[in-house]
Each structure stands twice: as C-alpha cells, then as structure tokens.
Amino acid sequence: MDNADIVLQLQGISKSFPGVKALDNVSLTVKKGTVHALMGENGAGKSTLMKCAFGLYHPDEGSIFVGGQQVQLRDARDAMDKGVAMIHQELHPIRTRNIMENIWVGRVPYKKVGPIHWVDEKKMQADTQALFDELEIQLDPRRSMGELAAAHCQLVEIARAVSYGAKVIIMDEPTSSLTESEVELLFRIIRRLTSQGVAIIYISHKMDEILQISNEVTIMRDGQLVGCWPAAELTQDLIVARMVGRKMESRFPPRTPNIGAPYLEVEHLTSANPHSFQDISFTLHKGEILGLGGLVGAQRTELMESIFGLRPIASGTVKIGGKPAKITCAQDAIQQGMALLTEERRASGIIPMLSVLENTVIANQTAHTRQYTGGKLFLSEKKRQQDTQQYIDSLSIKTPTTKTPIQNLSGGNQQKVLLGRWLLTGPEILILDEPTRGIDVGAKYEIYTLMAQMAAEGKCVIMISSEMPELMGMSDRIMVMCEGHLSGILDGANATDERIMMLASTWQKAPEGGAVQ
C-alpha cells in the first residue's frame, strides 16, 4: 500500500471504561479521497473509536497516525489543528449568533489597532462566502444560526471542518435527522470533498446509503474489528450478517394484519399554534399499524404530542373507543391507554442520572400509583424491581444492574428502556415517534417485532417515520402530512416512494430559501 495515500491510521486501539472493555485491539486505515464507512450495532464501539481518533478519549493502548506521522491527540481542538474533524450526530451550534461567527468561533479574523483586536467582519464574511462557494452551499453567512433547519446546521458544521483544513472528516449518523432530499444534498457535498482529496469516515446504520456513498466498509462487533471490505464486494445481507454475527432473515418481521373496529377517531383537529397543523381527521383501527410520513416541518410530532395532551388544541375532537376523550395533559392520555415514545430521546425521554429502574417505572408509577402501593403510602420495591426486570428480560436490555444510571447505557438500550416504560403502562394506543432513529439493525428488528406483536394483540400503533423502507415495510396504511395539512392516506400495499414523496410535498407553495431543492 502506498503510504502517501493514507491520511488516518489507527493501530491496535484498546480502551476500557470501568467494567467494560469498549475497544479491543481495533485498527482502521483511511485512504485519501475516499469515503470509509464504519458500521456495527449499537455498543459495537464505533463512537468510542471515533472519539479516540478525535481526541475526546485517550486510548489505553495503540497508536494514531495522521498523514503518516504518529500523534498524541490532547483534545478536540488539537485534533482539528492536526486535520481531523468530527461532525457529531447531535449538533450544538450557538443558535443566537450568525453563521459566520459559528464557523470562525475561537479564531475570528481581526485587525489590530493599538492594543485592541477589532473583529474584521468584512474578511469574516468574505472568507465564509468563499468557503460556501467552494462547497456550493447556498446560505447567507449573516443569517442567524437559530433560523436554520438541521440539514443546514450540518452544512455549516462541515464548512467549519473544511475551514480548519481537515484531511479527515468523521460524520456520526449524519443523515439521522435529514429528509431524503437533504440527504442528496449532503452526498453532493461529500462527493465534492472527496474529489478534493478529503477523506470521510461515515458512521451510519442505513445500508442503502452506505452502499451508495462509500468506497470501503469497516465492520465492528462488540468492541472488536470484524474486518474491512471494499463496498463493491458487499451487499446489505452480507453487511448485516457480519454486523450481527448471525444471518438476518428479513428486515421486517412477517405479519398478517387483522384490522378490527375503529378505536381512535380524530376529527378536524387544529392546533392552538397557528403555524402548526390544521383540520386533521383520521381513524385508527384496532390491530392496525398506521405510518405517518412527511418531511421535516410537516408538524407530525406536533400533531401526535397534541393528541397526547402535551400541546394545546384550538378545536376538533378526539374519540377513543367511540367516546369523546378530554385529554389536556400526559396523565390523562396515559389513563386513556395512550403511550408516546418521543422523538428526542435525550431531551424528553431519558432522565439521565436516574437508574434504569426509575426510568422504567416512572410513567406507570405516576399514572397507576395504586399498583405500586396497594393503596398504602409506600411504594413496593419488589413490584418496581419485578416490572423493571420483566422488560430487561423481554426486550433483552443490556445493563449491568437495574440500579445503573441510564446515561451509562448505549443509545439502543436507552431506547429499549423507554419502550419498556411505555409498555408497562399497558397501552391500547402506542405512538412511536421515529422509534428506530440512530439504532442498530438488531435493535430495529426487535422494535418492529414488538410493533407487530402489539398489533396482533389488537392494539393500535402509530409510527412517525422519515425512513421510506420502514414506513412501507411496517404500515397497514400510511398517512402523509405536509406543512401542517393532511395530504393523503395511502394503503400500505400499494404505497410507493414516489407517491409518498408526492403527498409529502403537495402543500408546498414555494421552495424554501437555501440549498434544499
């Protein structure tokens, strides 16, 4: 191998945390101008490895070479100075400042007059513009960061990485919150970067994307290296088999839908927020899985959170089992047999410092306190423990003990704890908002199986999803929203990518400013 072509090399990296060996002698070689995909189930060690490469963690053993030189990365800034950049899955821009200040933060161009460093706004804007022109990003450098959609925030972050002269850019689940057209835009930028010799390390769970964009694929399992292959030699089935170490039969569990009587009836529901959804009517039947598709900004989350009582409603009715239901807070909803797994696991899901146990029982304990106290004052520790253990077993949650703080678990396991939290409330209507986002294939399949099982038991399931295959693979019917309006409901059997996309953009009046087209 020609050494000049290797921009980043990790050799024999090992890293342990108290109680866990997260990385065991893992090596990775990334060549100039290529996209190198890094795959593995949650907890396989991908993120830990990348945090070592980006200086956030210091490996216990092994060495790191950047551009042929062995380096010790002190921290993220050091890594960036040496040419390694990372785009995190969850971005934290400074929303109150504008785009160019976000890009140059920490190294703002200045003019020195006497003892004072004056910010050189002109140069900053020109530099940013030049950077954007080079990457074909169509954004005004002076726009406030807070106005930007997730996809645009990501572009800004990429531009920032380029401005540091990054030779390697690590992207952790870059498409997890992007719509399909935004993914196209991202891919265009990635191709442009690789043509300029930049290498991309691409972490994702989405097979089609990986096969489409990457040159090489490294697969990890349980903190160890499985191997590295040229993407051309791989297929989805091969990748899955190597990731899980077993053969995955199918991506979706088989099911025979048994649709029953109407159960949830929503009529002319309009949000109290004039910019949100309007006049939404739909019916959900027992035993049905209803997919809810649409682009970012279609107000799908807002609709579901309003039905669940978290957001105020201006008009319209919700009937459950034929009876009008008055739901003004989450507790009403839970007592009516509803459960809502929210989209933002960190913001509105987990209670990070509390234990797996507390996180599991909290909703049921609040809504059905009697189950835990038997009408007395004190909680039954035994019952709490039993309920938690039941879901640790049935959802195969990987956790050392029930007392472990949930923040120590991997993302997929956190998500399963949250699912357990809701299943424990014995829901008749289970609403899942992007339930498989950022989750590995194994856990995904388990969540699909669970949905199928719930439906088979005659429960109703609503799944908001931005992933087409998932929408089409799991739903009996697909409801599509666009800019707060219900644009159509498709039968699951004859839904296609094109028809869903059509409906998702039906209400679109004018294309948004910026680069998304």
Partner 1 sequence: MTTKKKFDPKQFIINNAIYLILVALVIIITVISPRFFSLDVARDILMQSAVRIVVAMGCMFIIVSGSADLSGGRMVGLTALVSASLAQQAAASLKFWPGLPELPAFVPVLVAMLVGVVLGGFNGWVVAKLKVPAFLATLGSQMIIFGFSSLYFNMEPNRSQPLGSLTQSFRDIGSASLFGVPYIVMIALVVMLIVWVLQTKTCLGKEIFAVGGNLEAARVSGINVFKIQMITYSLAGALYGLAGSMEAARTASATSAYGNAYELDAIASCIVGGCSIAGGVGTVGGVFAGVVIFNVISYGLTFIGISPYWQNVVKGLIIIGAVALDVRKYSAKK
Minimum distance from CB of 393 to partner 1 (Å)?
17
- Please report whether residue 241 would count as binding partner 1 according to CB under 8 A: no
Amino acid at 166: A
Q: How many CB atoms lie within 10 A of CB 255?
A: 17
Q: Which of 112, 347, 511, 517 is in the footprint of partner 1 by CB under 8 A? A: 347
Q: Per CB under 8 A, which of residues 57..116 are in contact with partner 1?
A: 57
Minimum distance from CB of 359 to partner 1 (Å)?
8
Q: Select 431 or 503, whichever has its Cβ closest to partner 1.
A: 431
Q: How many CB atoms lie within 10 A of CB 241?
A: 14
Give the Cα separation of 266 and 306 in Å (integer): 11
Q: How many CB atoms lie within 10 A of CB 25?
A: 13
Q: Which of 18, 114, 322, 511 is in the footprint of partner 1 by CB under 8 A? A: 18
Minimum distance from CB of 358 to partner 1 (Å)?
6
Q: Per CB under 8 A, which of residues 348..407 are in contact with partner 1?
A: 348-354, 358, 362-363, 365-367, 369, 372-373, 377-379, 398, 400
Q: Select 234 or 320, whichever has its Cβ closest to partner 1.
A: 320
Place of tokens 């830990």: 48
Tokens of 310: 């978290």
Residue 84, SS3 per DSSP: strand
- Report the alpha-carbon angle 271-275-279, nearest 5: 40
Q: Select 258 or 408, whichever has its Cβ closest to partner 1.
A: 408
Q: Select 331 or 496, whichever has its Cβ closest to partner 1.
A: 331
Give the Cα separation of 291 and 285 in Å (integer): 13
Q: Which of 70, 250, 281, 331 is in the footprint of partner 1 by CB under 8 A? A: 331
Q: Per CB under 8 A, which of residues 24..43 are in contact with partner 1?
A: 43
Minimum distance from CB of 416 to partner 1 (Å)?
16
Q: Which of 342, 388, 415, 487 is in the footprint of partner 1 by CB under 8 A? A: 342
Q: Check if the beta carbon of residue 251 is closer than 8 Å to that of residue 445.
A: yes
Minimum distance from CB of 431 to partner 1 (Å)?
11
Give the Cα separation of 425 and 229 in Å (integer): 45
Q: Select 418 or 455, whichever has its Cβ closest to partner 1.
A: 418
**What number of chain residues touch partner 1 (CB under 8 A)?**
44
Q: Check if the beta carbon of residue 406 is closer than 8 Å to that of residue 354.
A: yes
What is the DSSP pairing of strand 477-482 with strand 168-172? Answer: unpaired
Q: Select 154 or 301, whichever has its Cβ closest to partner 1.
A: 301
Q: Which of 333, 392, 430, 500 is in the footprint of partner 1 by CB under 8 A? A: 333
The arrangement of strands across the sheet holding 289-294 comes to: 338-341, 429-433, 460-464, 289-294, 477-482, 485-491
| Distance set, CA 38 to CA 10, 45, 206, 239, 513 (Å) | 13, 10, 11, 11, 33
Q: Is 12 exposed, middle or buried (0-12, 13-18, 19+ CB in 10 A)?
A: middle
Q: What is the DSSP string of 193-245?
A: HHHTT-EEEEE-S-HHHHHHH-SEEEEEETTEEEEEEEGGG--HHHHHHHHHS
Bridge partners (DSSP) of residue 172 are 203
Residue 41, SS3 per DSSP: coil
Minimum distance from CB of 439 to partner 1 (Å)?
18
Q: Select 195 or 378, whichever has its Cβ closest to partner 1.
A: 378
Q: Which of 6, 11, 20, 33 is in the footprint of partner 1 by CB under 8 A? A: 20
Bridge partners (DSSP) of residue 286 are none
Minimum distance from CB of 211 to partner 1 (Å)?
29
Q: Select 400 or 513, whichever has its Cβ closest to partner 1.
A: 400
Q: Select 421 or 437, whichever has its Cβ closest to partner 1.
A: 421
Ranges of H-type helices in 164-200? 180-195
Q: Per CB under 8 A, which of residues 165..224 are in contact with partner 1?
A: 222-223
Q: Check if the beta carbon of residue 95 is closer than 8 Å to that of residue 145.
A: yes
Amino acid at 200: I
What is the DSSP pairing of strand 84-87 with strand 20-31? Answer: unpaired
Q: Pick the stretch among 17-25, 236-244, 277-285, 471-479 that binds partner 1 (CB under 8 A).
A: 17-25
Q: Pick the stretch among 25-33, 182-190, 331-339, 508-516 that binds partner 1 (CB under 8 A).
A: 331-339
Q: How many residues does the chain have?
A: 517
Minimum distance from CB of 313 to partner 1 (Å)?
17
Q: Which run of H or of E encompasses 485?
A: strand 485-491
Minimum distance from CB of 369 to partner 1 (Å)?
5
Q: Select 329 or 456, whichever has its Cβ closest to partner 1.
A: 329
Q: Select 421 or 444, whichever has its Cβ closest to partner 1.
A: 421
Minimum distance from CB of 172 to partner 1 (Å)?
17
Q: Pick the stretch among 120-128, 176-184, 264-272, 326-334 that binds partner 1 (CB under 8 A).
A: 326-334
Q: Select 288 or 358, whichever has its Cβ closest to partner 1.
A: 358
Ranges of H-type helices in 110-179? 121-135, 150-163
Q: Select 210 or 357, whichever has its Cβ closest to partner 1.
A: 357
Residue 29, SS3 per DSSP: strand
Interacting residues with partner 1 (CB under 8 A): 17-22, 43, 56-57, 222-223, 308, 310, 329-331, 333-334, 340, 342, 347-354, 358, 362-363, 365-367, 369, 372-373, 377-379, 398, 400, 408, 421
